[in-house]
């Protein structure tokens, strides 16, 4: 990439473009127009649209992993309350951005059955998120807020997957799912 283009800004813009338009609807011409890159610079740096998508997915994973760690680091709240606060905050952000969804989840939905590289990287990013959430779920289990008949990893995956199910439902009905997500988390409590 030549000195005119800031790679992080190009990746951030690409993430926004893929997130808004999807992989199939977005052409390299538009990517170049929106980032200010020439096609030659684009292909020299990223090799292909698929490789650019993989780069943006990895960058998104880095951002979300850091965000999850920050959100779950509140030392004064119980583990259960940290999880409730995390998912409420995630729902609020979805309400604010028009239910744009999770970039990784969106790309899994569009591309996972069509492209093994995207499928594999999307799964890796999703598992990164679960690994961050898992210790908080484990603590909630230790505190007696969740049953321990499932591993913390299994329960973290159920909670996170359920969140995206609630999000999809809210998107289709154009409504807030605060109550349903909070009720779901409370239903998982053992006491």
Model confidence pLDDT, tens digit, residues 82-128: 998 898 888 778 777 777 778 888 888 888 888 999 999 999 999 99
Give the predicted TM-score (pTM) of the model: 0.85
Q: How far apart are CA 128 and CA 98, in angstroms?
A: 25
Q: What is the pLDDT of residue 3?
A: 44
Could you tell me how far CA 63 lies from the centroid of its own chain? 9
Dihedral, CA of residue 136, residue 139, residue 143 and residue 147, to nearest 10: 80
Q: What is the CATH number of domain 57-188?
A: 1.10.357.10
Structure tokens at 2: 């030549």
Show me where the domains of the chain are located. 57-188
Question: In tens digits, what is the pLDDT along the chain, a chain of 191 residues?
Answer: 444 678 899 999 999 999 999 999 999 999 999 999 999 999 999 999 999 999 999 999 999 999 999 999 977 899 999 998 898 888 778 777 777 778 888 888 888 888 999 999 999 999 999 999 999 999 999 999 988 899 999 999 998 888 877 777 766 766 655 565 665 566 556 54
Non-local (6+) Cβ contacts of 21 within 8 A are 30
């Amino acid at each position: 990439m030549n000195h005119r283009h800031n790679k992080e800004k190009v990746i951030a813009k690409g993430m926004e473009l893929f997130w808004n338009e999807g992989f199939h609807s977005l052409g390299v011409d538009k990517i170049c127009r929106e980032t200010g890159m020439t096609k030659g610079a684009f292909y020299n740096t990223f090799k292909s649209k698929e490789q650019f998508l993989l780069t943006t997915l990895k960058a998104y994973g880095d951002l979300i992993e850091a965000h999850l760690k920050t959100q779950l680091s509140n030392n004064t709240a119980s583990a259960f309350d940290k999880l409730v606060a995390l998912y409420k905050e995630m729902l609020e952000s979805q309400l604010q951005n028009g239910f744009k969804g999770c970039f990784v989840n969106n790309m899994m939905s569009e591309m996972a059955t069509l492209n093994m590289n995207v499928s594999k990287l999307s799964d890796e990013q999703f598992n990164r998120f679960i690994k961050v959430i898992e210790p908080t779920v484990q603590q909630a289990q230790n505190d007696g807020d969740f049953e321990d008949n499932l591993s913390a990893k299994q329960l973290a995956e159920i909670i996170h997957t359920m969140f995206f199910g609630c999000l999809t439902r809210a998107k289709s009905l154009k409504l807030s799912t605060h109550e349903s997500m909070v009720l779901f988390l409370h239903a998982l409590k053992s006491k």
